[in-house]
């Protein structure tokens, strides 16, 4: 989801922000002492985030690594964000409402979130020492961007027909699985072409 609008003008310390989130009806992200309200999410956004969370959760059943959806915060330096999906494997003295040690973070992009997810969050996330993979998933087109620490955070892009390997948890997903039930032009075109290829030629 997106950072939508600023919540207050004066600088707020992290402790007051965390305390305020416990009673707030709206989620907020905390960036450089400023608090921003979160915007709502589209159906496609929730489909993608739900697909990734469910597949990871099924894969990690009985494992010490644990997936979290967008209600748990991640601490990145002095900032706090609500990733769409993340995986945490090891924590010492875990906090009830946030983590500082994710191994995977996935964000679903939209027109409103792209700038934040590709700049502010990307830089903050890359400085989390436990993080191994950062995933950015478009919702209006088909494009899964995967950045791995092991490859110097160089971006790899995956499209319909490809497979995406999350090395840090040993899980491979097809792009079709990530975009299951999603309705956009790229998805419709892919399945139209697939259907036509499967139809017998009539001469």
Could you list the residue range(s) of the whole structural domain that residue 187 is in? 42-198
Whole-Å CA distances, 202 to 76, 196, 197? 59, 12, 12
52-101 per-position pLDDT tens digit: 999 999 999 999 999 999 999 999 999 999 999 999 998 887 899 999 99
Residue holding tokens 């010490």?
64
Q: Two tokens at 74?
A: 């991640």
Mean pLDDT for 141-153 is 97
- Whether residue 3 has pLDDT greater than 70: no
Q: What is the pLDDT of residue 8?
A: 53
Query: What's the CATH code of the domain at 63?
Result: 3.90.1570.10
- Whether residue 7 has pLDDT greater than 60: no
Tell me, yes or no, whether 3 lies in a domain. Answer: no
Count the helices and strands in the chain (H runs, E runs): 6, 14
pTM of the predicted model, to two decimals? Answer: 0.89
The number of folded domains in the chain is 1
């Amino acid at each position: 989801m997106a950072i939508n609008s600023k919540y207050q003008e004066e600088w707020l310390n992290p402790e007051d922000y965390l305390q305020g989130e416990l009673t707030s009806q709206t989620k907020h992200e905390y960036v450089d002492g400023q608090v921003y309200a979160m915007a709502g999410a589209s159906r496609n956004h929730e489909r993608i985030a739900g697909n990734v969370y469910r597949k990871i959760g099924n894969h990690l059943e009985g494992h010490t690594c644990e997936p979290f959806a967008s209600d748990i915060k991640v601490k990145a330096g002095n900032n706090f964000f609500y990733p769409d999906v993340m995986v945490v494997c090891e924590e010492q003295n875990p906090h009830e409402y946030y983590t500082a040690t994710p191994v995977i973070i996935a964000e679903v992009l939209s027109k409103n979130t792209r700038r934040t997810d590709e700049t502010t969050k990307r830089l903050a996330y890359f400085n989390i020492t436990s993080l191994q993979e950062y995933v950015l998933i478009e919702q209006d087109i088909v494009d899964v961007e995967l950045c791995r620490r092991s490859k110097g955070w160089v971006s790899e892009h995956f499209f319909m027909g490809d497979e995406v390997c999350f090395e840090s948890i040993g899980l491979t997903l097809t792009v079709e699985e990530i975009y299951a039930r999603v309705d956009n032009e790229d998805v419709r075109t892919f399945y139209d072409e697939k259907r036509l290829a499967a139809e017998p030629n009539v001469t």
